[in-house]
A = this chain, B = another copy of it.
Amino acid sequence: MNDAYERLLERYQTITDLEQARMVLGWDQQVTMPDGGTPARAQQMSTVSALQHERRTDPELGELLDAVEANDPDERQQAVVQEIRHDYEREAEVPADLVEEISRTSSEAQQVWERAREEDDFEQFAPTLERIRDLQVERAGHVDPDADPFAVMHEDDEPDLSIETVERIFDRIKSDLVPLIEEIRERGDAPASPFEAQGPYDEDEQFEFSKEVLETLGFDPERTRLDRSAHPFTVGNQYDCRITTRFNEDDVVDGLLGTVHEFGHGLYQLGLPDEEYGSPLGEAQSLGVHESQARFWENHVGRSRPFWELILPEMRDRFPQLSDVSVDEAYEAVNRIYPENLIRVEADELTYHLHVLVRFEVGREFVAGNLAVDEIPRAWNDRMEWYLGVSPETDAEGCLQDVHWTEGFAAFQAYTIGSVLAAQLDAAMREDLDVDALIREGEFEPIREWLREHVHRHGRRYPADELIEVATGEPLTADYFVEYAKEKYTDLYGL
Nearest Cβ on chain B to A270's Cβ, whole angstroms: 9
Could you tell me the distance between the alpha carbons of A25 and B44 in the complex, rounded to whole angstroms?
Answer: 12
List 6 additional A-B contacts (Cβ < 8 Å) besides A13-B47, A37-B240: A17-B47, A20-B40, A21-B44, A21-B48, A34-B242, A36-B222
Most buried by B among A25, A36, A41, A44: A44
Q: A278 contacts B43, CB within 8 Å?
A: yes
Tell me which residues from 17 to 70 in chain A have a Cβ below 8 Å from any Cβ of chain B: 17-18, 20-21, 24-25, 28, 32-41, 43-44, 46-48, 50-51
Task: Check: A317 CB closer than 8 A to any chain B CB.
Answer: no
Nearest Cβ on chain B to A454's Cβ, whole angstroms: 24
Q: B43 contacts A13, CB within 8 Å?
A: yes
Task: Check: A391 CB closer than 8 A to any chain B CB.
Answer: no
Q: Which residues of B contact A14 (CB under 8 A)?
A: 47, 50-51
Task: Check: A7 CB closer than 8 A to any chain B CB.
Answer: no
Q: B18 contacts A240, CB within 8 Å?
A: no
Tell me which residues from 269 to 289 in chain A have a Cβ below 8 Å from any Cβ of chain B: 274, 277-278
Q: B40 contacts A277, CB within 8 Å?
A: yes
Q: B28 contacts A239, CB within 8 Å?
A: no
Can you list 22 A-B contacts with CB-CB less than 8 angstroms, sorted by A residue number?
A14-B47, A14-B51, A17-B43, A17-B48, A18-B47, A18-B48, A20-B44, A21-B21, A21-B25, A21-B44, A24-B24, A34-B221, A34-B223, A34-B224, A34-B225, A34-B242, A35-B222, A36-B220, A36-B222, A36-B240, A37-B240, A43-B277
Task: Check: A238 CB closer than 8 A to any chain B CB.
Answer: yes
Q: Whose C-beta in chain B lies nearest to the C-beta of A38?
A: B239
Q: Whose C-beta in chain B lies nearest to the C-beta of A46?
A: B17
Could you tell me the distance between the alpha carbons of A97 and B341 in the complex, rounded to whole angstroms?
Answer: 63
Interface string of A134-160 (1 = CB under 8 A from B): 000000000000000000000000000
Taking Cβ atoms with an 8 Å cutoff, the residues of A that contact B are 13-14, 17-18, 20-21, 24-25, 28, 32-41, 43-44, 46-48, 50-51, 220-225, 236-242, 274, 277-278
- 3 A-B pairs with the lowest CB-CB distances in the bound complex, closest first: A37-B240, A36-B223, A17-B47
Q: Whose C-beta in chain B lies nearest to the C-beta of A237?
A: B40
Q: Which residues of B contact A41 (CB under 8 A)?
A: 239-240
Nearest Cβ on chain B to A406's Cβ, whole angstroms: 24
Cβ 8 A contact of A39, one of B18, B47, B50, B239:
B239
Q: Which residues of B contact A28 (CB under 8 A)?
A: 24, 28
Could you tell me the distance between the alpha carbons of A239 and B237 in the complex, rounded to whole angstroms?
Answer: 28
Could you tell me the distance between the alpha carbons of A40 and B236 in the complex, rounded to whole angstroms?
Answer: 10
Could you tell me the distance between the alpha carbons of A241 and B36 in the complex, rounded to whole angstroms?
Answer: 10
Q: Whose C-beta in chain B lies nearest to the C-beta of A55?
A: B51
Could you tell me the distance between the alpha carbons of A18 and B51 in the complex, rounded to whole angstroms?
Answer: 10
Q: Whose C-beta in chain B lies nearest to the C-beta of A51?
A: B51
Q: Which residues of B contact A38 (CB under 8 A)?
A: 239
Q: Whose C-beta in chain B lies nearest to the C-beta of A242?
A: B34
Q: B225 contacts A36, CB within 8 Å?
A: no
Could you tell me the distance between the alpha carbons of A222 and B36 in the complex, rounded to whole angstroms?
Answer: 5
